[in-house]
Chain A
Amino acid sequence: AQTVTQSQPEMSVQEAETVTLSCTYDTSESDYYLFWYKQPPSRQMILVIRQEAYKQQNATENRFSVNFQKAAKSFSLKISDSQLGDAAMYFCAYRSGLGGNEKLTFGTGTRLTIIP
């Protein structure tokens, strides 16, 4: 079974600074997808960024980028120019690339606080 580990329960960053959230995962599969989801206090989970395991290039979405290290099974999220609206719980998630195995496996989350 796949597992996802987020070792940082809480992180804080000064507004406009950069912060990196860590995620490691365990799998024996070679084809899979990795995601970072954001869950603000309103509780709706929002997709931040996704990475296909077969792609060597790290995904980027505006101020959000990932450092995907497949051999190390590491998938960290970097948030640049942090904004107050970035405050939320951030969840790392894994999804198998095998057809028929559709569920997301989540980590326990990292609570990000933005300091004005």
Chain B
Amino acid sequence: DTGVSQDPRHKITKRGQNVTFRCDPISEHNRLYWYRQTLGQGPEFLTYFQNEAQLEKSRLLSDRFSAERPKGSFSTLEIQRTEQGDSAMYLCASSLLGTGNTIYFGEGSWLTVV
């Protein structure tokens, strides 16, 4: 069990460019989550998947954001036309199906928009 892995760990992009982050959850974890964390704040929920179905999206997830989990395994989070306010750590997490199961986090993908 290698844990939740995220790629890239760091990304610097110019305003207006598109970026994509990838998350590989713990093997056999049905649920996959995306959170955003800015400096000095706790993580904020963005969206989550159960297998390949996206079951909930936060209001924080504007039209420029899209997340997919096409085969119920890895997931991608794409941000189109990046803005400086998108600069943050994007955290992926996964868990087994079942209310109250522990959610395990990856190390995050740090985005800087210049």
Contacts of A56 in B (CB 8 A): none
Q: Given A43-B89, A102-B31: A108 and B40 within 8 A (CB)?
A: yes
Contacts of B33 in A (CB 8 A): 102-104
- Whether A97 and B43, one on each chain, are in contact in the complex, defined by CB atoms closer than 8 angstroms, is no
- A99 closest partner in B (C-beta): B99
Whether, in the assembled complex, B103 has its beta carbon less than 8 Å from a beta carbon of chain A, the answer is: yes
Contacts of B100 in A (CB 8 A): 33, 52, 95, 97
- A44 closest partner in B (C-beta): B107
Interface size on B, residues (CB 8 A): 26
Contacts of B103 in A (CB 8 A): 47, 95, 104
Interface size on A, residues (CB 8 A): 26
Whether, in the assembled complex, A42 has its beta carbon less than 8 Å from a beta carbon of chain B, the answer is: yes
CB contact list, B91-114 vs A, under 8 A:
91, 93, 99-100, 102-108, 110
Whether, in the assembled complex, A68 has its beta carbon less than 8 Å from a beta carbon of chain B, the answer is: no
Whether, in the assembled complex, B45 has its beta carbon less than 8 Å from a beta carbon of chain A, the answer is: yes
Kindly state the separation between the CA atoms of A47 and B33 in the bound complex, as whole angstroms. Answer: 16
Whether, in the assembled complex, A106 has its beta carbon less than 8 Å from a beta carbon of chain B, the answer is: yes
- Whether A103 and B108, one on each chain, are in contact in the complex, defined by CB atoms closer than 8 angstroms, is no
Q: Given A33-B100, A95-B100, A97-B100: A103 and B105 within 8 A (CB)?
A: no
Q: Which of A45, A47, A52, A100 is close to B43, meaning CB atoms less than 8 Å apart?
A: A45
- Whether B45 and A42, one on each chain, are in contact in the complex, defined by CB atoms closer than 8 angstroms, is no
Contacts of B35 in A (CB 8 A): 104
Kindly state the separation between the CA atoms of A68 and B43 in the bound complex, as whole angstroms. Answer: 23
Residues on A facing B (Cβ under 8 Å): 4, 33, 37, 42-47, 50, 52, 91, 93, 95, 97-100, 102-109
Residues on B facing A (Cβ under 8 Å): 31, 33, 35, 40-45, 48, 55-56, 58, 89, 91, 93, 99-100, 102-108, 110
Known A-B contacts: A50-B102, A103-B56, A108-B42. Give 8 more (CB < 8 A): A47-B102, A47-B103, A47-B104, A95-B100, A103-B33, A104-B45, A107-B42, A109-B42
Q: 8 closest A-B pairs (Cβ-Cβ)?
A: A106-B42, A45-B105, A103-B45, A44-B107, A33-B100, A91-B42, A106-B43, A43-B108
